Every structure is written in structure tokens, then in C-alpha cells.
Amino acid sequence: MTIERKYFGTDGIRGQANREPLTPQTLARLGQAIGLHFMRGNHRHRVVIGKDTRLSGYMVESALASGFVSVGMDVATVGPMPTPAVAMLTRSMRADLGVMISASHNLFSDNGIKLFDPDGFKLSDGVEKEIENRLEGPLVLAAPPSLGQMVHLDDAIGRYVEFVKGSLPRHTQFDGLRIVVDCANGAAYKAAPLVLKELGATVIPLAIFPNGQNINDTCGATAPQKMCAAVRQEKAHVGLAFDGDADRVVFADEKGTLVDGDQIMALMATYWQDEGLLQGKGVVATHMSNLGFERYLNLRGLNLIRTPIGDRYVIEAMRDTGCNLGGESSGHVILSDYATSGDGLLTALQVLLVLKLKQQEASKMLNVFKALPQVLKNVKLSPLLLELAEAQTAIELARKKLENTGRLLVRPSGTEALIRIMAEAEDETFARDVVDSIAQTLTDLSKENVA
């Protein structure tokens, strides 16, 4: 069960840059509240701050840093770095807190804040609520001799590069592989091509010239068409496209066909189970993962443990169940043997390792199971409609129609005033009819309640 919060959403704080709550005044106060929450003990306290390539990152970084310093916390900035790099550096530097400034896959006009605890894990709903509670009261500032200091960590990218390469067996080389790499003009624009080149791959880079405004602009994980076309044009073996903060990655096979994140998790589950590396007797994924994936795992004697949408809920369930593999169909994959959060680059390396070892085409290796047709529709209606008895009745009737042959998920968006409707069935037309029926019911209820 999630806890209602004012500022925090499904993945930290997010909104339009220079609008509440992402104004300098509120950000400085947030920095103070967050800093005070993590300042425990008598040691010098430190926060690691990274960001993606958005123009507003400078403003957000400066405002947050002033808040941290004002309560006595030292700040180490690392510049544009992937979100998982900040999680890794927080842990390796023995910092008290990690902050990533990013709005992930959103366009440059948005920004946000993701927080990591000293162990590199995202904060729970409860901790986020405690931070919000602090904002309601007085915030104690440090005396002049106790103010924090600021430094820039010059070798941060080198540390991260060595970290992700360290996830591979020693002497692993990707020589002979031609890889298209779309960095979304975002946080991975330096690290991803560098790692793959050092491992011997031939890299065809896309979207590696950020200008503060072109992050995720017709490129990256949410717009992979250019990447797919480049794979075909360059006769590459595989294509990769990261999102703005590089905590997720989508793949294209050698034909330029997109590969769903569930197929990536299925590939890793299969390989790890065969190698005796899979833990927890299953995989953790969200309610959005395809029923075909669940059936495939069941045939292999494995479970699919489902969670609410959001990779931090996946990680929490992984820690509870002992599973070392989890993720989201959108491309967030968590390999907890190596990392505490989704890491697009690390995931890419592990998948490339399997492709290299098996010496098979990506189109064969990345087509692990038969997915059921999945129909999604977002309706711009108030999520409060879902609380109406008439809406609940319609949803339950639709769910019974799909019983044993498919799935239905109706949920409010965690970031927008939308209701998201998803249905899976053996027959795509049937699934579409179910989705359209619920959407129409909710639209009618909205008109009735307005009237």
C-alpha cells in the first residue's frame, strides 16, 4: 500500500522546471529537509549529486546544494552521469545520501529529483513522507563554523566505467559486434560509447551531442525509430537506446525490430537459471509485464512476482523475496548481483554477453516467449472516477470476461491526470473491445458527474 505524499510521486519529485515545486526557493528548502533527515551521527555528512543534460539542471543543482550546505552537509557534484552511477557512487564513497537530478524520459522543460539512501537504494514511501513532514516545521540551519563544503568529483565517469565493466567476466571482449547506441542526448552520452569501445565493439553513436534542450527529443528509449533505422542501414548486430538518465534501455535486433523489456528479462532468467545463477525461484516485475512472460516462467518452474508500477517497488520486492532479477517491460531491468537500481548500460552489457556466448542472431535470442496481444489506452479523466461504484462494477465484469484467458489493469497515472487501461487476451480484437468499453463507461460517468 502506497502512502499519500505531496511532493513525491512514483519515482521521486518531478515537474516543470522553475515551477513549483521545482523553484529555487522550494528546492533549497527541500535540500535542507532532506539533508537534516540523513544527518545522523557525529561524522562529516556528504551528499553526492549527479544530473542529466537538461538546461535546468544547473539551477536545480545549485539550489539543492545551497540547502544541503546550509544545514552542514558536504556536497560532491559529479556532473552529467547516469542515475545508476549516482547510486553506485553514493555507496562506494560512503556518502549519506545520493541525489540524481533528472526527469528521466521527459523532454527538457521538465526536471526532477531521485534520492538514494547510503546503501544506494531509492527511498521508501515512508521515508519520503517523513521528509515532507519536516518541510512543515522549522528547519535548523548550521552555525557558520559547521557549514558544508562543495567539491566536484573529476574522476566520477571513470569510476562508473570500471564498475559496469567489472560486471563482466574477465577478458570479455565484444570485438566483431557492430552496435548502434542512441544516448538520447542524455546522461549516458559519454559513458555508453566509451564502455562499448573499450570492450572492442564497433560503435555507431546517435544523439551524443546534448545542448541542454535536445534530451529525449525524437531520440532515445521513448523514440527509438532512428536507432532501429540505423541498425538496418549500418547492418549492425544490435541496437541500444537509453532514456534521458540511462536507468533503462530498449533493444532492437539485427532487423531493426524493437524488443520488449519482458523479453530481456526472460533472456536473463533463462541464462541465469541454466547457469545456476538465478535466485529466489522467480523474477519480480510489475503489473504491466505480459501474461505470456508469466506463463513462460511457470513452464520453467519459476514464479513471476508482480508489484505496483515503479522500479523502486520492484527492488523492494526483490529484497523481500531474495530474487536477483527484476524489472519493468519499459526497459528498467534490475540485476541486484551488481547494482541497487535499474542500470541501462549494465543491462546492455549482460545481454550482449549472452549474445556473444551463444553466437546467435539477436532476433532469435531476444524472442524468448510468445507475448499475448496487449492493448493500452490513456484517457484524460479524473482518477477519482475509479472510486465510483459504477466504475468498479464495470471493471469487475470486464475482468471476469478475461478470466483464465487474459488480464485487465485499470489504474490512475502516477504523474498525470490520466486513467490508464490495459488488457491482454489471446485475441487482440477482444482485448481492444474490453479496453474501449471501460474507457466509454468512464467517459459517460465523467459527464454524468459534471452534469
What ranges make up the beta strands (E) of 303-405? 303-307, 325-327, 333-335, 374-379
C-alpha cell at position 138: 522549522
Q: Element (H or E) spanning 21, and its range?
A: none
Residue 84: asked if its preceding bond is cis (omega within 30°), the reply is: no
What pairs with residue 326 in β-bridges?
Answer: 284, 334
Cα–Cα distance between 303 and 326 in angstroms, integer? 11
Region label for 345, one of left (φ > 0), alpha (ψ between -120 and 50) or beta (otherwise): alpha
Query: Which residues, other chains included, contact 32 with Cβ-Cβ below 8 Å and sequence gap of 6+?
Result: 67, 68, 70, 71, 139, 141
What is the distance of C-alpha 321 from the center of its chain?
Answer: 20
Cα–Cα distance between 366 and 375 in angstroms, integer? 22
DSSP state of 387: G
Which has the closest alpha carbon to 29: 118, 126, 132, 101? 132
Could you give the 3-state DSSP secondary structure of residue 121? coil
Query: Which residues, other chains included, contact 350 with Cβ-Cβ below 8 Å and sequence gap of 6+?
Result: 167, 168, 268, 335
Which has the closest alpha carbon to 11: 287, 241, 314? 314
DSSP state of 372: P
Query: Which residues, other chains included, contact 176 with Cβ-Cβ below 8 Å and sequence gap of 6+?
Result: 200
Cα–Cα distance between 351 and 331 in angstroms, integer? 12
CB atoms within 10 A of CB 170: 6
Among the listed residues 56, 70, 102, 104, the single catalytic one is: 104
Residue 104 catalytic?
yes
| CB-based contact 129:5 (threshold 8 Å) | yes
DSSP state of 122: B
- Phi–psi pair at 425, nearest 5 degrees: -160, 160
* Radius of gyration of the chain from its Cα atoms, rounded to whole angstroms: 22
| CB-based contact 250:241 (threshold 8 Å) | yes
Residues known to be catalytic: 104
